[in-house]
Each structure stands twice: as structure tokens, then as C-alpha cells.
Amino acid sequence: MKKAIGGYFELELNRGREFHTNALCLNTGRNCLEYILRARGYKKVYLPCYICDTVIEPISRLNLRYELYAIDKSLTPIFDKGLKKDEALLYVNYFGIKGGAVKALLARFQNLIIDNTQAFFDRPVKGVDAFYSARKFFGVPDGAYLYTDARLDCGIEQDLSYKRMDHLVLRIDKSAEDGYRAFVKNDDSLTGRPMKTMSKLTHALLCNIDYKKARAQRRENFFILHERLKHRNELKIKAAGLSSPLAYPLLCPDGYKIKSELIGKRIFVPTYWKEVMKRAAEGSCEAYLTRNLVPLPIDHRYGGKDMRHIILSIER
């Protein structure tokens, strides 16, 4: 189709570059996982119990077997089995702070899949399958990146994203609360969505981001919170060498109360992940994490003043 000249104006966006330039660009992280599973021909996947149900979706769709493994209170896997050629171990780089655990697993296993959906700025390791989510870090309707040297021998249709923009524009025009229902609707619309390549709209939005600034601001915010809250954080974080985390994960016995109080003050913190309670044993590490881990926002929309407000809201 020839380029249109004239007529009405489109969204005016910067024509920069995406952060992940050498990856396969798909519509969702779960479809990145499906791509890996199909291309590698895996028959069974080992998953952490502490994980979102969306990861299980492609495994179930492909009728593959899976088995859950435990993690400890430092989010490190407890896994001592060997892997067969048609089996894979998936590990989540939780909150973008578990690069050390990833390296330890790389030394032990070949059939490894790294879920970097919470670690957008962590660079992939050559020869290791890894996938990333754009919408967990930026204001886009969808989009994910996949690093793998395996290839599917089939054409993949390109996605369309214009119908999934409501929550993004409502937050600007009205408020976060007014856009929340549309945000949930958008999340739900991605369930069961077939594998497609990233839409032109999402590509354009991702070319509009100052990644250097975003990465630096996240790191700065993370360390402001860490300096003040590390004394009460049961999660001992090796802060040196961190790239740019998703959030500051504060773990404490009254975390469930802190979450409720922060939300009441319009400091919105999610729960990772409520569905874990359906499969985690009472008294397990996974159940404790789900109830009491508070992922404090550190993203590039905010600065030191906002971080100090979060700290004061917790300490009062």
C-alpha cells in the first residue's frame, strides 16, 4: 500500500528506537512462551509455584505436562532434578532483582527459559531463551520481545492494537481510577489471544520512549526506597549490579496491611499473584509472599519526592 499524503493528522510520536532491537516482536509474553515451547518441541515444563496463571495458559493450550517447584524466601528456586531433552525449566527473574539466580541456573541447565517480563532492562544471554513484556514497564496496550535461536516454520499475522487503548487515554484525560475498568478489560482481552507479531501502533509507541532516562530514574527510585526500607525488608536484596527493576519488593509480616493502607492513599500496589493462593499450601513460602510482598512503584513517572511520600506513608 502506498504511503498516504495529506489528510488528518495521526498521533505525533518521536521516531526513536526500541530498547530491544534484535528480538522477535510478538503481541504478548505468554505467546513468546508458546513460541519457545512449539519451536523446541518440549513435552514438559517445570514452573515455580509463585507465578501468574497467564504463564500456564500456553502450556495448557499445547496440552503439555507441567510440574510446580518451590522457591525460598529470597525468591531463589528449590530445584534439584535433572532435565530430560524434552523438558524445560522456567524461572522468573522476579522484580528484575534475581539476575544472580539466573546465572546460577545457567551454570546447571541447558533447557532453561527465563521469564524476564519483570526485568525489561536485563540483557539476554546468548543462546538462552528469554522473553520480555513491554506493558509491565511502559504505557502500551500490549507487546513482548523474545530472544531464541529456535524458529517456527510458519507465517505469523500482525496484531492490531487500536481497540486496546482506552485505559491509556482515560488515565490522561480523567484519572487512574476512571481508567482502571478499561485496564482490566484490556488484560482480559489478551487471554486466549492467538500468537501474532507486535502491532504497528505498539512499535510506534515503544519508539517514543527515552529508555536511558527511564532506566536511570527507576534505579534512582529503587535505591531511595532501599536505603530507607532495607532494615525492615525480609527480602534481602543484593542491590549491587541491578539493572533497572520493575518495583521495590518490600516483604514484611504486615505487608497485607501496608498494601491496603497505601491503596487507600492512592498509592496503587498490585498483588503478585492472587491465584497462587489456590495452589500454594497454607504456611508455604509462596502463600506468605502472595499475602505480604508489597511491590512499591518506582517507575520513571516518579522522582525522589514521590519516593519519600511512599516512605512516609509506610512509616506513619
Q: Secondary structure of the chain: what % helix, strand, coil (to 5)?
A: 35, 15, 45
Q: Which pLDDT belongs to residue 8?
A: 84
Residue 2 pLDDT exceeds 90:
no
Q: Which pLDDT belongs to residue 25?
A: 98
Q: Per-residue confidence at 239, pLDDT binned at 50, 70, 90?
A: confident
Superfamily holding 211-315: Aspartate Aminotransferase, domain 1 (3.90.1150.10)
Residue 14 pLDDT exceeds 90:
no
| 24-206 CATH fold | Aspartate Aminotransferase; domain 2 (3.40.640)
Average pLDDT, the chain: 95
Residue 234 pLDDT exceeds 80:
yes
The H-assigned helical ranges of the chain are: 29-40, 53-61, 99-106, 166-173, 176-189, 200-206, 211-229, 255-264, 285-292, 304-315
Q: Where are the domains of the chain?
A: 24-206, 211-315
Of all residues in the chain, the percent with pLDDT exceeding 70 is: 100
User: What is the spatial order of strands in the sheet that 87-92 belongs to?
Assistant: 24-26, 144-147, 129-133, 112-115, 87-92, 44-48, 65-71, 77-78
Q: Per-residue confidence at 163, pLDDT binned at 50, 70, 90?
A: very high
Partners of 147 in the β-ladder: 130
Residue 219 pLDDT exceeds 90:
yes
Residue 11 pLDDT exceeds 90:
no
Q: Which pLDDT belongs to residue 154?
A: 86
Cα separations in angstroms, 185 against 1, 52, 265, 313: 33, 17, 24, 30
CA-based nearest residue to 19, from 218, 162, 163: 218
